[in-house]
């Protein structure tokens, strides 16, 4: 009879092998759980559970609400001829703006495409309305297809995204689960929802002036959040429409198409022109923000890059907390960090 061979510790080999397998399984399980925990933490940083419990944001109580037939939107009158068209029920809290001159009007961004923006605009002005896109992320171009005249910055990324449109698979997750806290409009079908491709009719350059009749919007090129991002300066009313270059938050400085050096340079560019505007009309969350925040965003980026700032981290993403805004950034984007 063959004698069972024993290992160094005096155990038989089958027993030792079983122990090793069990140990490996525990290690694998722990690493899967670690990854799941990190991913859950990351998701919570980007989209906190029950995010809508913070609504309405305090600023809205100070603004004049205007009724339209389009209940998906809340519409606020910011100045005599400026309206914020806000989508509070979906996580993006997208805001489009109707800017009315003496001869024509512009919608700055067109939201998610869930509501009928053209109808809402037509109830606020009789003038012809054209679109000016601050950039071409899906939640800013949803209703572009409803309008004949569409302007975007002269950047390949802009027309590539506009001409591609956005398919249902990409969009549908934006109206499922916790992304939504109020019913969608009855006529809206999430199963067939697409953002149709469009072609821009006007390509904008730095310094271009968009004439609306006794009201002008100046194009300020502010790449960083996306390659073709612009802000629009209404000098007469001292308002800066920022798109996603600034919004309270959190500011998205983490997605793949963000160029953090460009983003920081764009904030500095806006800071140099602070004497030309008093309020920011931002692309999400809050339509009326005092312009001084731009200076503090510049300071915040400097602090982050020097290894400072309070943050939480999940799976490579950090959410930094500042007074009145947050910044989401990838940990690997941070240079000179102390840790
Ligand atoms: Zn964006």
For residue 225, how far is its CA from the centre of ligand 1 (angstroms)?
A: 6
pLDDT class for 113, splitting at 50, 70, 90?
Answer: very high
Confidence at residue 5, expressed as pLDDT on a 0 to 100 scale: 58
Residue found by looking up tokens 């968009």 in the block = 210
Per-residue pLDDT reduced to its tens digit, 186-239:
999 999 999 999 999 999 999 999 999 999 999 999 999 999 999 999 999 999
Q: Which DSSP category does 5 fall into?
A: P
For residue 226, how far is its CA from the centre of ligand 1 (angstroms)?
A: 7
For residue 130, how far is its CA from the centre of ligand 1 (angstroms)?
A: 20
Burial class of 238 by CB neighbour count within 10 A (0 to 12, 13 to 18, 19+): middle
Residue 261 φ then ψ, to 5°? -65, -45
Closest by CA to 111, choosing from 124, 95, 132, is: 95
Confidence at residue 222, expressed as pLDDT on a 0 to 100 scale: 98
Confidence at residue 335, expressed as pLDDT on a 0 to 100 scale: 73
Higher pLDDT, 23 or 40: 40
Structure-token pair, residue 211: 């004439």
H-run or E-run covering 13: helix 13-46
H-state helical runs in 242-333? 260-272, 293-305
pLDDT class for 27, splitting at 50, 70, 90?
Answer: low
Q: What is the mean pLDDT of residues 36-43?
A: 75
Counting residues of the chain whose pLDDT is more than 70, the rounded percentage is: 91
Counting residues of the chain whose pLDDT is more than 90, the rounded percentage is: 80
For residue 257, how far is its CA from the centre of ligand 1 (angstroms)?
A: 10
- C-alpha–C-alpha distance, residues 180 and 222, integer Å: 30
Of the listed ranges 13-17, 72-76, 146-150, 302-306, the least confidently predicted one is 13-17
pLDDT class for 39, splitting at 50, 70, 90?
Answer: confident
For residue 11, how far is its CA from the centre of ligand 1 (angstroms)?
A: 62
For residue 62, how far is its CA from the centre of ligand 1 (angstroms)?
A: 26
Residue found by looking up tokens 């390509």 in the block = 203
Look at residue 325 and tell me whether its pLDDT is greater than 80.
yes
Q: How would you label 52-65 residue by residue, b for 16+ Cβ within 10 Å and e otherwise?
A: beeeeeeebeebee
Q: How would you label 94-123 residue by residue, b for 16+ Cβ within 10 Å and e otherwise?
A: bbbbbbbbeebbbbbbbbbbbbbbbebbee
- C-alpha–C-alpha distance, residues 83 and 124, integer Å: 8
Confidence at residue 10, expressed as pLDDT on a 0 to 100 scale: 61
Residue 150 forms beta bridges with which residues? 131
pLDDT class for 290, splitting at 50, 70, 90?
Answer: very high
Q: Which DSSP category does 244 fall into?
A: T
- C-alpha–C-alpha distance, residues 232 and 221, integer Å: 9
Look at residue 319 and tell me whether its pLDDT is greater than 60.
yes
For residue 162, how far is its CA from the centre of ligand 1 (angstroms)?
A: 13
For residue 9, how far is its CA from the centre of ligand 1 (angstroms)?
A: 61
Q: What contacts 24+ positions apart, CB below 8 Å, involve 207-212?
A: 210/106, 210/132, 210/151, 211/101, 211/103, 212/99, 212/100, 212/101, 212/102, 212/103, 212/104, 212/105, 212/106
Confidence at residue 73, expressed as pLDDT on a 0 to 100 scale: 98
Look at residue 338 and tell me whether its pLDDT is greater than 50.
no
For residue 183, how far is its CA from the centre of ligand 1 (angstroms)?
A: 24
Q: What is the mean pLDDT of residues 96-111?
A: 98
Sign of CA dihedral 295, 299, 302, 304: negative
Of the listed ranges 32-41, 231-240, 313-322, the least confidently predicted one is 32-41
Look at residue 245 and tell me whether its pLDDT is greater than 50.
yes
For residue 55, how far is its CA from the centre of ligand 1 (angstroms)?
A: 21
Per-residue pLDDT reduced to its tens digit, 41-89:
888 898 989 999 989 999 999 999 999 999 999 999 999 999 999 999 9
pLDDT class for 18, splitting at 50, 70, 90?
Answer: confident
Confidence at residue 339, expressed as pLDDT on a 0 to 100 scale: 40
Of the listed ranges 9-13, 85-89, 110-114, 138-142, the least confidently predicted one is 9-13
Confidence at residue 276, expressed as pLDDT on a 0 to 100 scale: 98
Confidence at residue 33, expressed as pLDDT on a 0 to 100 scale: 65
For residue 1, how far is its CA from the centre of ligand 1 (angstroms)?
A: 75
Q: What is the mean pLDDT of residues 163-168?
A: 98
Q: Which DSSP category does 142 fall into?
A: T
Q: Which DSSP category does 254 fall into?
A: -
Calculate the CA 339 to chain-centre distance: 28
First to last CA, the chain: 62
Ligand 1 (single-atom ion) residues, CB below 5 Å: 137, 244
For residue 244, how far is its CA from the centre of ligand 1 (angstroms)?
A: 5
Structure-token pair, residue 46: 């980007």
For residue 29, how far is its CA from the centre of ligand 1 (angstroms)?
A: 37
- C-alpha–C-alpha distance, residues 11 and 40, integer Å: 42
For residue 153, how far is its CA from the centre of ligand 1 (angstroms)?
A: 14
For residue 137, how far is its CA from the centre of ligand 1 (angstroms)?
A: 5
Look at residue 21 and tell me whether its pLDDT is greater than 80.
no
- C-alpha–C-alpha distance, residues 287 and 174, integer Å: 22
Q: Across the beta sheet with 325-330, what order do the strands follow?
A: 251-253, 325-330, 317-322, 311-314
């Amino acid at each position: 009879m063959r004698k069972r061979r024993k290992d160094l510790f005096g155990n038989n080999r089958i027993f030792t092998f079983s122990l090793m397998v069990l140990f490996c399984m525990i290690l694998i399980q722990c690493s899967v759980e670690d990854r799941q925990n990190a991913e859950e933490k990351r998701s919570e940083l980007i989209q906190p559970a029950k995010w809508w419990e913070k609504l309405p944001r305090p600023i809205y109580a100070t603004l004049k609400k205007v009724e339209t037939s389009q209940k998906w939107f809340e519409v606020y009158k910011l100045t005599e001829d400026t309206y914020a068209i806000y989508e509070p029920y979906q996580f993006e809290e997208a805001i489009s703006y109707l800017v009315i001159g003496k001869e024509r009007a512009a919608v700055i961004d067109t939201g998610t495409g869930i509501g009928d923006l053209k109808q809402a605009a037509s109830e606020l002005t009789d003038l012809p309305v054209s679109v000016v896109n601050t950039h071409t992320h899906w939640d800013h171009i949803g209703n572009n297809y409803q309008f004949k005249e569409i302007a975007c910055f002269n950047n390949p990324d802009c027309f590539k995204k506009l001409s591609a449109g956005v398919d249902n698979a990409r969009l549908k997750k934006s109206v499922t689960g916790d992304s939504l806290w109020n019913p969608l409009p009855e006529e809206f079908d999430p199963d067939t929802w697409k953002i149709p491709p469009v072609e821009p009719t006007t390509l904008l350059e730095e310094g271009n002036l968009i004439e609306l009749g006794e009201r002008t919007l100046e194009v300020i090129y502010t790449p960083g959040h996306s390659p073709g991002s612009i802000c629009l300066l209404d000098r007469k009313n001292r308002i800066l429409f920022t798109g996603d270059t600034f919004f309270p938050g959190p500011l998205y400085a983490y997605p793949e198409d963000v160029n953090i050096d460009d983003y920081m340079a764009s904030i500095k560019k806006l800071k140099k022109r602070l004497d030309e505007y008093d309020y920011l009309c931002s692309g999400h969350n809050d339509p009326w923000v005092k312009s001084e925040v731009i200076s503090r965003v510049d300071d915040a980026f400097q602090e982050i890059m020097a290894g400072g700032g309070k943050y939480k981290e999940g799976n490579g993403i950090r959410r930094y907390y500042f007074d009145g805004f947050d910044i989401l950034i990838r940990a690997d984007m941070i240079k000179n960090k102390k840790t």
